[in-house]
Chain A
Amino acid sequence: MEGKEVRFGPDTSGLFATVTTGTSTGAVDSMHDSFLPVGGLVPLFNMELGEITPGGVGAGLYGILVFAIIAVFIAGLMVGRTPEFLGKKIEAYEMKMAMLVVLSLAFSILFFSAVATATAAGKAGPLNGGPHGFSEILYAYSSQTGNNGSAFAGLTGNTLFYNLTGSFAMLLGRYAMIVPILAIAGSMAAKRRVAESLGTFPTTGPIWVGLLIGVIVIVGALTFFPALALGPIVDQLINNAGRLF
């Protein structure tokens, strides 16, 4: 029970961790570092998707809207019309801005984690070795980029290196996303509304939900899949084999 919320037990600790990272809350009632690796994977994954999992609460709303725009664009063509979302055409400008958001998220998390794993100052941070230590680094930048506020624990973050890189991650994670999203909002607001008909791409119902999840998983999650494989996934697999870090 080390690191768990002892009053409510491991179940609610897990639930709390999921909710706090799925939304952009960031409060913690337990040490995520103490979870099984697969338990640490969930909050990591939640933040790397842009804190959108419960449908986009708080700042997560714009995250899921960007994914919705990308989903409409990729699959929307399959109904034989140029893509539209909420009655507005999705064109080159919106696509550029949406990709900028996806790129900023990926860049901030992956680039700073890469710098940390490649420098002595960065390598000094993690408490644990091996893949678990890597998860600690990855979590730090995922949380800071997502402006989540939760900490994995285990990483000695109060060093010049982590404070500096972390603050850049926070800046990028907030403004490199909000600015293009506002640009999309402005561009879409100025557009003529397209009338709805039977030929309009449906953005409600189970098919749309399935499609949106598919795009989030493929575009959002696959970006981080290699990193996650080297962190919590292999960590868990090695744990299963009876080795700990």
Chain B
Amino acid sequence: MALAVIDTARGSRRIAREARQAQAGHAPGPRNRGIFDPKLLRGALGPAVRKLDPRQMMRNPVMFVVEVTAALVTLIFVSDLVGLTSGAAREVGRAPAFEFQIALWLWFTVYFATYAEALAEARGKAQAATLRKTRSETPAHRRCEDGTFEDVGSSALRAGDVVVVRDGETIPGDGDVIEGVAYVNEAVITGESAPVLKEPGTDIRSSVTGGTTLTSDTLTISITANPGETFLDRMIALVEGAKRQRTPNEIALSILLSGLTIVFLLATATLRPFGLYAGAPLGIVVLVALLVCLIPTTIGGLLSAIGIAGMDRVARFNVLAMSGRAVEAAGDVDVILLDKTGTITFGNRLASRIVALPGVTEREALEAALLTSLEDETPEGRSVVELARKRLAEIASDGPGTKAATPAAVTTPAEAKVATVVPFSAESRTSGVILADGTVVLKGAVDAIVAALDVKAPPELQTLSDEISSLGATPLAIRRNGRPLGVIELKDTVKPGLKERFDELRRMGIRTVMVTGDNPLTARTIAQEAGVDDFMAQAKPEDKIARIRAEQADGHLVAMTGDGTNDAPAVAQADVGLAMNSGTSACKEAANMVDLDSDPTKLIEVIAIGKQLLITRGAITTFSIANDVAKYFAILPAMFVVAYPELNSLNVMGLARPESAILSAVIFNALIIIALVPLSLRGVAYRAAPAAELLRRNLLIYGVGGIIAPFLGIKAIDLLITAVHLA
């Protein structure tokens, strides 16, 4: 069985984050704790025992039945041992030694299930402990009504209070900046040690989180959350699993499992009168063994661990899901609304093309473009230099596409002779250089350049710049002295790798819709470049909600990301709303997930985690139920060996003795729970693929595998216990 294959894209992302943290002199921390941390493994032993409390077990009907039967067999064992009771003459498996072993393995079955749950919780708690350290009481300077300040503890703060936080101090609670500009280190929340700029009234940058620290200046903050209700508090409660509620799908699955338990209870209970009719008295111990093997203990025992681990996986990915329901819903999503700027594109304009005007060689235009931007430290300027050097290198090595010369090696003869730098000014709307020989080389807004020309601008300049603007890009004209040379196209660029991600989503049956305020032409260009399925141009916030409602009316489940306050209604309307941590508190309140790293493309990973959670649950359910076939063949012939020895032809596994057959089935049933703990905590390997393909693959592994595995397992255990004379 393939236990865990980490999705490669995700793996490399994690590596990237670790590298980033290492660079910042920052240990990877608890978010990357391994599944088999020995401390956690030991730590879960005790809580698992406490979970055996029948009052707690009641919530899990399948395991509760096992616990009751374990107690029952223990009682019978004790009573037979001291001679109070004894079996009927032809009863199979009525010997204290056998009863003891069955009782022991039944207790193990229950314990393995509670251990799995305790282990899943322990992993969440370990993460919460680190977070809790930041929640300790911090002093706050609260502004009184008369304008003076008083020092109080952070726990005394209420929503609406105004506090002042100075350089080096910890922000005492969640709030909005109302005055001041400062850098805040949010590493406790995001794991990102680079400080973030906070200022009032900026929608995105004005919200601060309690527990983060100021690394410069002073901020006046209006507190928005009462103690115990802050973001950090909720996060701790969630990762600890303290407030865990069963999700709708978990409840439905529990009903199925309870139903099956009752059906099999009926099948085994009626077997006693049937046996008596056939002259085969069946003891309770044997019937209990059959019952426990038939009821879906594997999934019953691992169900809550799978749910907790799913939430934990999302949290490790630095996304805070407000409920398990949200993670489940993410798996169902089939339409995603993504903002263009910042999500699909970088949001800043970079040079994509340098076009020479008629009568100018490309080389001439490129060299001029390079000169204008050599001293330009803006991202736009640097991108012009980069593009020009790349093209020049291609020209130098005779034709595009060859990578013979490195771009940096290409220098123009003029480069050394720069005399004066002409910086950009809002008035001139141009920038560039004046060379030692007095030559002026400038780039700038087309009309500003045209106005300074000695000659009449060629009509191509206008058509070119119109064409560029119509596609949503920005044209910059270049002139040397009075002569126009060419046009630079500055364009918003699509993030690399996104096209592949969208293809992947399409294979999963998920449609991507790009939302932008741009005109339809620009939107279409970017949409085509990014490979999204659809786009909404000139979209206003109301349009987003309308679109979400329309998609939902057609039966789609919609996910979207947002950060601004005007995104909040749409985020709330969406089935899965992922808010950026850098976003406003209104948006975060409306969302059912918050991304602490504020990376909107993470929505895609969250969907994959949601699907992985559901697949894990389905795979173990299928495996558990498929296991029943082999267990029947192990136990039934053994039960009736006295009354109907002919039934031994059903003993296809050739198990040694009736007792060893029954014991082997019970042991297999217990061990399979512990064997599947890593799978349920890590999740089944997930690949983006159409449903039919996933079904075929998983059905083969967990369905067919689930039928075959116990035949092999039970036979192996039978050989082993026969060899050591246990039964």
Contacts and interface: CB of A to CB of B under 8 A. Distances in A.
Contact of A234 (B260, B617, B646): B646
A219 interface: yes
B177 interface: no
Interface in B325-339: 328, 331-332, 334
Given A92-B248, A214-B703, A226-B636, A81 B614 contact: yes
A199 B334 contact: yes
B699 A117 contact: no
A142 B638 CA distance: 26
B261 to A, nearest CB: 10
A78 B698 contact: yes
Nearest to A70: B256
Contact of B509 (A118, A198, A210, A211): A198
B691 A198 contact: yes
Contacts of A77: 249, 253, 614-615, 617-619, 621
A222 B294 contact: yes
Contacts of A70: 256
Given A202-B695, A222-B628, A233-B647, A78 B640 contact: no
Interface string B611-625: 110110111011001
A79 B698 CA distance: 8
B612 A90 contact: no
B12 to A, nearest CB: 22
Interface stretch (B180-188, B194-202, B263-271, B412-420): B263-271
Nearest to B686: A80
B554 A195 contact: yes
Contacts of A115: 273
A230 B282 CA distance: 13
B628 A218 contact: yes
A25 B509 CA distance: 43
B33 interface: no
A82 B326 CA distance: 12
B629 interface: yes
Interface string A90-127: 11101110111011001100110111011000010000
B510 interface: yes
Contact of B270 (A83, A102, A114): A114
B252 A80 contact: no
B628 A82 contact: no
Nearest to A91: B252
* Main SS class of interface, A: helix
B65 to A, nearest CB: 15
Contacts of A95: 252-253, 255-256, 259
A182 interface: no
Interface string A203-231: 00101001100100011001111110110
A195 B332 contact: no
A113 B270 CA distance: 8
B694 A78 contact: yes
A133 to B, nearest CB: 8
Contact of B696 (A194, A207, A214, A241): A207
B619 A110 contact: no
A74 interface: yes
A198 B647 contact: no
A114 B282 CA distance: 14
A220 B650 CA distance: 19
Given A103-B259, A234-B640, A75 B270 contact: no
A117 B614 contact: no
Chain B interface residue bracket vs A: 35 or more
Nearest to B508: A199
A100 B263 CA distance: 10
Interface string B648-670: 01100000000000000000000
A87 B274 CA distance: 43
Given A95-B255, A114-B273, A117-B276, A207 B692 contact: yes
Interface in A104-157: 106-107, 110-111, 113-115, 117-118, 123, 130-131, 134
A80 B612 contact: yes
B274 A134 contact: yes
B316 to A, nearest CB: 19
B691 A199 contact: yes
Given A78-B622, A99-B255, A225-B632, A219 B691 contact: no
Interface in B400-423: none
Contacts of A237: 644, 646-647, 649
A98 B263 CA distance: 12
A192 B629 CA distance: 37
Given A95-B256, A106-B267, A230-B640, A207 B699 contact: yes
A158 interface: no
B555 A194 contact: yes
Contact of A75 (B275, B278, B618, B644): B618
A76 B692 CA distance: 10
Contacts of B612: 80
A100 B259 CA distance: 8
B101 to A, nearest CB: 23
Given A111-B266, A131-B278, A226-B271, A200 B621 contact: no
A110 B270 contact: yes
Cβ-closest 7 pairs across A and B:
A77-B618, A199-B509, A99-B259, A80-B611, A198-B509, A197-B509, A117-B277
25 contacts: A74-B625, A79-B694, A80-B611, A80-B612, A81-B331, A82-B331, A92-B251, A95-B252, A111-B266, A118-B276, A123-B277, A134-B278, A198-B691, A200-B509, A201-B695, A202-B691, A207-B695, A210-B699, A214-B626, A222-B629, A223-B263, A225-B267, A226-B632, A234-B647, A237-B647
Given A118-B276, A199-B690, A238-B644, 15 more contacts: A80-B691, A82-B248, A92-B252, A92-B255, A98-B259, A99-B255, A114-B269, A195-B334, A197-B509, A198-B509, A199-B691, A200-B691, A207-B695, A226-B632, A230-B644
